[in-house]
Structure 1
Amino acid sequence: MPKSSIDSTASAVARLIEIGRKQVDDFGIACVVNVASGEYRSEFDRSIEYFTEEELEEIVGGFREAGFYTDVFVGEDSFIRWVDGGGLNHFARNRTLVYNTAQTGSAPGRKSLIPAFCQLHGISTLNANPYAVSLSRQKFHVNAILRSVGIPAPECHWYVGEGRWLADRRPPIGRIVLAKASFEAASIGLEKRSRFEFTGAEDEFLEELVAELSQPILVQEFIEGREAETPVLCQGNDVLTLDPVGISIGGEKNPGSLFLDYSRVCNDDYGFYDFAPNEQDLAHRLKAIARQVVDTLQFGGFARVDVRIRDGGEPLVTDVATSPHLVRHSAYGHRFANLGGRSAMASALVGLAVLNKNKNIVEER
C-alpha cells in the first residue's frame, strides 16, 4: 500500500477526531445498552453480547474522556420512557446523539428498535439506520445479496427447520461447513461441533440448534485459512477503510481449521495483529471488498467487514457488523490504539455523525 494512501487515511481519521472534539459543548451522548448480569450459562446465552461492567466503563469512559456529557440507559424501555417523559427537554446539552447497542430479547430485527424509535422521533444517532441494522443481522440475506452483486462470499444454505431446507437446496456431500445462528453475533451458538463434513445426515443436529436458538440455521461453506476484520467508517457515499486487523486463534496467525467459537469469544481467547505491513496487496484488496460491502448494504457510521482467507490468498466475506465492539479487545480498539485510544475513537464516531449527510442532525431546542 503506497505511503500516500496510509497518510491520507490517517489524515481523514484525524479530521474526524478534530470535528468530533469541537462538538463537546453542543452534543451530549445517550448510551442505550444491555449489561450482563452474571456468568454466561451456555453457548446459546445471548447475554454474551451485553456489556460487562468493565466494557461499559470503556465505552462510557471513552465519550467522557473526550469531553462529552454522557448518560447511560440500561435497556430500551428505560430510554423510551425517558424520551416519552420529556427527558430530551432537560438533557444537559442542547442536542443529543444516541449510541445504541441494546437488543433485548431473541427476535430477528431486535437491535433496530432504538434506531427506528429515534428515526420516528427525529433523534440523531451514532448508528446505522434501522433497515441496515436489521439487515446486517440476517446472515443468509446478507450473503445472498453480496453474492448476487459479485462480492466474494462463501456458498451458504439455509436450514429452516423440521427437515426443510430453503428451496430444497443442501450443501454438496463431503463439503466442510460451519452451522451458524442466522440472527446472532458474538459467535452465539457456535461450538466445536459446529464445523463438520456434510454427509446429508445432519438434520437432527441442525434441528437441535433450531430449537435452542429459536431461528433457522445458516450452513456456510467453511473457509480454511486466515481471518481478518476491516473497520469501515461510513459517511454517506464516502467510505473510509482502516487497515485490516488479523485475528490470531490459539496463538496462530493462520488458524487453518480453527474458528472463533462461543468459548473463545466469551473468554477473549484470541488476539489481533497488524495485517497490512507484510501483505500490502492483500490488505488493499480487503479494503476494496469492505468498501463494496458497505456500499451495497448501505451501512452508516462505524461498521466492520469480516473475511476468511484461503491459503491461496482468496478472501471471502463471512460476516458484517453495523455495531462493532468498540472496547479495547476489538478490531477497532486495536486500530485506534495508535490513533489516540478510546477518546479519539469516541470523537471520531461523533465527527462522522456530524458529517454524515444521512444522519440529519437535528436541532432539539
Structure 2
Amino acid sequence: MNEIKNTIDRILKATSNINQEVEIALISNSRSKTKIIENMEIQYSDENEFFTDEEYSEILDGIQTSEFYVHAFFNEINFMSDILNKKFNIENKIVYNLARNGKKPGKKSLIPSFCDLITVPYTGSNAFVISLCRAKYTYSKYLEAHGIPIPKSWIYIGQNKWLNDSKPTIGTQIIVKSMSESASIGMDNNSINTFNKNSLDFLENIFINRKEALFVQEFISGFECEVPLIISDKVHTMSPVGISINNNPNLSTEILTYERSFEDDYNFYNLSEVINKKQCLFIQELSAKIGKIIGLQNYGRIDFRIDNFGNPYLIDIASTPYTTKHSSFAFAFENLCIPYNEIYSTIIGMTYLRYKNLLNSL
C-alpha cells in the first residue's frame, strides 16, 4: 500500500503546477446532456454507459478542484468538428477521454485514434488497447496463452452452432455475456444457466433478441473483486476491492446485473477482510501482469471472480474505469487517505508526464 501511495505522491509532486500550463478538454457522455445531433443518424449507447448528472458533476468538480480549466464536450462528433473547423484551439490541451458513445465494437477507440492523428495528449490507453479490452473472447484467449487464469469460454453463433464446434460440457454452469459491451449491459439473473439439452433453446432466444454472437463463459460462484491500476513507467496495483450485494461479500451465484449497475445497488469492501493476504497479493500480481501484457496506459481496472477455494479468475478489463464517488477507484483512494479530486490530478499528471517522456523520472 505504501508503494502505490508513494507513487501517487511523486506524480502529484512532479506535476503540481501543470494547471498553469494546460487546460482540460473533458469528453464524456451524459444521460441529460448528450443530445441527438440534428439530421444525423447516430446509434447511441445504452444509457447505463452514460453518466448521470450527479456522476458528471463529481468528475467535473474533481478536475476543477485541482484548479484545471475545463472545456466540456458531451458528444465525440462535436469535439472533432470544433477542432476541424478551428472553433476549438488544441494548443496546451489535454483531452480527458471518457467518451463511449455508440453500439458497435471499437466505439471507445474513436477519440484516442483522432487524438493520436492530430498529436493531442489524452488520458487512458491507445485506440488498439481500448478496442482489445472490449473484445472479451479475444483477450481471454490471448491472456490464457500467457498463463492467466480465465474461466472456460465459448462463442455461440446461432442456429445451434458454436465457434470451432467447441461448446460447454453437460452440467457446466455458464453465464451469457455480450461480446463487447460493458456496464453489465444485457446481464440479468437469467444470464446464468446450467448447460444441458435445453440450453440451446435458451441461448437461441438470447441470440435472436440481441442479433449477435454470444460470449458464453463458465460461471465462477463465489466472490468478486476489482483491482484499480495506476500506470506510470510500470503497472502499480491498489489493494483488491471486493463487491458486496445486500452487504454479503460472498456473492455465490449473484452477479452485477444491468439493474444493479444502473442503480449502483452494490457496495465495496476490502477484499483482505475475507481473503487471506497472500492470495490478495497474488491477485495484485496477476493484475499487474495482465495490465502489462495487454498494454494498458495511464490507469485501468482488472476484475476477478474468486471461487470458494480462493482461486481468482479474470472476468473483465476496464481501460477507462469509472472514477465517480461510487467506484472501486474512489474507495481505493479513500483507503489511502488521498482526497477524491486527486484521482483526476493523478491521471492528468501521468498523461502530462507520458507525453513529455518523463515517466521514468519518477
TM-score (norm 1): 0.90
When residues 162 and 23 of structure 1 are mapped into structure 2, their CA distance, relative to the original with a 3 A threshold, is farther
Residue 302 in structure 1 maps to residue 314 in structure 2: no
CA contact (8 A) 2:123 2:348 kept: yes
Alignment of 1:166-185 (within 5 A): 166-185=163-182
If asked which structure has higher relative contact order (CA below 8 Å, sep 6+), I would say 1
CA contact (8 A) 2:237 2:287 kept: yes
> Identity of counterpart residues, as a percentage?
30
Partner amino acid, structure 1, of 2:298: G
CA contact (8 A) 1:183 1:215 kept: no
Pairwise CA distance, 1:312: 0.5
Gaps of 5+ in 1: 1-5, 39-44
Residue 208 in structure 1 maps to residue 205 in structure 2: yes
Pairwise CA distance, 1:342: 2.6
Gaps of 5+ in 2: 34-44
Q: In structure 2, what is the equivalent of residue 50 of structure 1?
A: 50
CA contact (8 A) 1:20 1:349 kept: no
Q: In structure 1, what is the equivalent of residue 31 of structure 2?
A: 36
When residues 73 and 97 of structure 1 are mapped into structure 2, their CA distance, relative to the original with a 3 A threshold, is same
- Alpha-carbon RMSD across the aligned residues, in angstroms, is 2.1
Q: In structure 2, what is the equivalent of residue 63 of structure 1?
A: 63
Q: In structure 2, what is the equivalent of residue 103 of structure 1?
A: 100
| Counterpart pick for 1:132 among 129, 133, 148 | 129
Q: How many pairs were matched up? A: 347
Q: In structure 2, what is the equivalent of residue 257 of structure 1?
A: 253
Alpha-carbon separation, structure 2, partners of 1:136 and 1:170: 23
CA contact (8 A) 1:147 1:153 kept: yes
When residues 261 and 19 of structure 1 are mapped into structure 2, their CA distance, relative to the original with a 3 A threshold, is same
Pairwise CA distance, 1:116: 0.6
When residues 293 and 195 of structure 1 are mapped into structure 2, their CA distance, relative to the original with a 3 A threshold, is same
- 3-state SS in 1 of match to 2:54: helix
C-alpha deviations, 1:58-95, integer Å up to 9, x for none? 11111101111111111111110111122443x6xx51
When residues 168 and 268 of structure 1 are mapped into structure 2, their CA distance, relative to the original with a 3 A threshold, is same
When residues 149 and 36 of structure 1 are mapped into structure 2, their CA distance, relative to the original with a 3 A threshold, is same
TM-score (norm 2): 0.91
Residue 239 in structure 1 maps to residue 235 in structure 2: yes
Alignment of 1:1-365 (within 5 A): 6-37=1-32, 46-89=46-89, 94-236=91-233, 238-276=234-272, 279-338=276-335, 339-356=337-354
Partner amino acid, structure 2, of 1:334: F
When residues 122 and 212 of structure 1 are mapped into structure 2, their CA distance, relative to the original with a 3 A threshold, is farther
Pairwise CA distance, 1:302: 1.1
